[in-house]
Amino acid sequence: MQTLSEKEIIRNIRRQEPFAAVITSGAFSIRVDRYTPAVCTAIHAGHAVQEELHDKLLLSETERRYEEDPFTGDMLASLPIVMEALDSRYQYDLNRLPEEAIYDEAWGKKVWKEPLTEKEKQASIARHDSYYRVLHSLLTVLEKLFARCIIYDLHSYNHKRLTAATPLFNIGTHFINMDEYQPVVNHLKGLLLKTEFPNIENRLALDDVFLGKGYQAAFIHEQHNKSLCIPLEIKKVYMDETTGESYPLILEAVTETLKQAFSYNAAYFSRKFTGKKIQRALFFAEESSRVVKKVDTALYRVAKGIDTLRYINPVNLSQERKRFFAKQCSYTPQFRYRQLKIDPFAFRKKLYAIGVDTIQDVSIRQLYRSTIDMLAQKVDLLTTIGTDSFLYNSLRFHGEPSEADIELARFLIAAPPIEKEKNPKLLSARECANVFKRAENDYGFSFQVELSSRIVARAMVSSGRRKVMINRNAQFTEVEIQALIHHELGVHMVTTSNARQQYLKIFRMGLPGNTETQEGLALLSEYLSGNLTLARLQSLAHRVMAVHMMVKNYDFPRTFKALSDDYGLSREDAFNLTVRVYRGGGFTKDYLYLTGLRKALQLYRSGTDLQPMFVGKTSIAFLDTLKEMLGRDVVSNPLHLPRAWQMKVQSSPILDYLLSSFG
């Protein structure tokens, strides 16, 4: 951030130049990424006191910080226009009239050891006046551009000394024309109340703990009465108000909440009162692509090549299959696995050394933080393959089926066969591979097809190598092959190819929850193409039940027997499914296919635009962030999309009925 004089700052504003600067006096900072009709201020965020006044201060740093508003400037880092005080309110209070801005006594405590000289007072008042001259210039330019603008005047308050119940958020309406701006206030209120904070009641009140009578609101009301200033107080639940230490997780959640609320509310205000429909993405800070790319590159360098399935698939599967059947299916296979080429300690150390906190935008920062946490958990999973700890780490990483998942699985398994699905013609793995290669022209990208005896699945995409691998021992119906094409090519290879087009490589590695999302979208693609069958749904249901049995401590032979005897799977299918679930020591991933389909189907039916999901290995949990990143051109629109999305296929009434049970 550069250092500029007041004159230079005002000149930049009048020229409508984006800039970020600290005023030469050090009294405040201003950042204008782009000129929008929304300004955020944190006028009590500062803690500095001029050096020449230090010896006269009676209060300790802790005492001063108690009545300041720490971290409120940080909360606004994701917004495009921010003015933040750097001086402490104990030197002069920007929210009081200039002649009343310097305290002799504040909150029952004397501030100064001895009275300030007139010269010292005037020096502080000059800093106060400088802030308001810059604010006035900024609002004047914005009002010329947009007729009106909205100012979010952010503060925080101490609550432990108060005996009555207090709201998390308080809007002071004293200087708000509620006859005109009630809809804007109500809109902001609804947005702020959307977030659920852990162990904190989210309640918002108007004029409860504060009325909004501060000088900044009064100044804007008098000098810029066409514009709207909303004084917003937040309870200091994000920090220890006594020591000044932050609670990082709550602070991050509050920052995200304010970013989303202010950006949506500013867009709403703009449409309603400026006559201009400004995209919400323009109400975000201009994130430095260089900073994000540096973090992204560092993460990719550390994490590339971590392939769970490569290490989790047994290397002696063929031998153990023969031994299992030779011993009348009562033997528990003793699988062996590849040696891990990763030092887990060094890996975690490198992961957590990545400078994620240099990313200014809270949503993008959280995207990378969550991915780093996910990769650390994945390493815990990989390092315990073949041990008793693997199941625990699998449960941490993938979870387990809920009661609702189990009930849905049982419902699907109980459905009677559909007549036309009975006894279809079977094709070999090689015939399947030939059909896959013929489909290459439909998607506009090249890939290899390989027959393999080393995979447990019938077919899968190897993302890093742009290769479709088909189990050489598997057989397929024509419908199953088409379903696989729409599943493996239409989603997995599509997202692999799109990820390679992205500036950021995080979409190659995969976001947290990407397994459930990608498999859900792939199954939805099967359905939209008209190739999802009851048999396929039942196979997904069998996976849920197999995971459930494994988690409930069934051993390998008992689960195999339940699948073959109780659920009617062939011996080979029952063995393959049991292997999928028991490999590594207990792999719970397979229940996510059915839950992923349910979530994808719900979004599709609700009319949600799912295109952002195809920019790479994404997750529904980050859909809003992806939409935002697309709107800000941080992420490119997907080059390829599933063909099934454009197909108009008559769906089966029976399947539609079964899928209606997905909620």
Q: What pLDDT does 421 receive?
A: 58
Q: What pLDDT does 222 receive?
A: 96
Contact of 131 with 208, CB cutoff 8 Å: no
Which pairing describes strands 150-157 and 228-235: parallel, antiparallel, or unpaired? parallel
Model confidence at 444, pLDDT cuts 50, 70, 90, reads: confident
Which ranges of 313-455 would DSSP assign to H, the alpha helix? 317-326, 344-353, 362-383, 389-398, 403-414, 429-438, 440-443
Candidates 3.30.420.40, 3.40.50.2300, 3.40.50.970, 3.40.630.40; correct CATH number of 2-286? 3.40.630.40
* pLDDT per residue as tens digits for the range 246-303: 999 999 999 999 999 999 999 999 998 887 777 766 666 676 778 899 999 999 999 8
Short-list 543, 532, 595, 533, CA closest to 569? 543
385 vs 8, 310, 337, 381, 514, CA distance in Å?
62, 12, 8, 7, 21
* pLDDT per residue as tens digits for the range 156-192: 999 988 888 999 999 999 999 999 999 999 999 999 9
Model confidence at 420, pLDDT cuts 50, 70, 90, reads: low
The two three-digit tokens of residue 185, written as one number: 């206030």
Provide mean pLDDT across the span 2-6.
97
Domain-wise residue ranges, the chain: 2-286, 388-660
Contact of 41 with 220, CB cutoff 8 Å: no
Model confidence at 449, pLDDT cuts 50, 70, 90, reads: confident
CB atoms within 10 A of CB 213: 13
Contact of 625 with 256, CB cutoff 8 Å: no
Q: What pLDDT does 58 receive?
A: 92
Provide mean pLDDT across the span 541-560.
97
Contact of 148 with 273, CB cutoff 8 Å: yes
Main-chain phi, psi angles of 495, to 5 degrees: -70, -30
Which pairing describes strands 150-157 and 2-4: parallel, antiparallel, or unpaired? unpaired
Contact of 99 with 110, CB cutoff 8 Å: no
Q: What pLDDT does 309 receive?
A: 78
* pLDDT per residue as tens digits for the range 463-511: 666 788 888 888 888 888 899 889 988 999 999 999 999 999 999 999 9
Contact of 144 with 19, CB cutoff 8 Å: no
Model confidence at 615, pLDDT cuts 50, 70, 90, reads: very high
Does pLDDT of 525 surpass 80? yes
Mean pLDDT for the chain overall:
92
Q: What pLDDT does 410 receive?
A: 96
Does pLDDT of 598 surpass 80? yes
Q: Which of 332-341, 365-374, 444-453, 474-483 has the lowest mean pLDDT?
A: 444-453
Q: Which residues contact 480 (CB under 8 A, 6 or more apart)?
A: 531, 533, 536
pTM across the whole model:
0.83
Q: What pLDDT does 458 receive?
A: 82
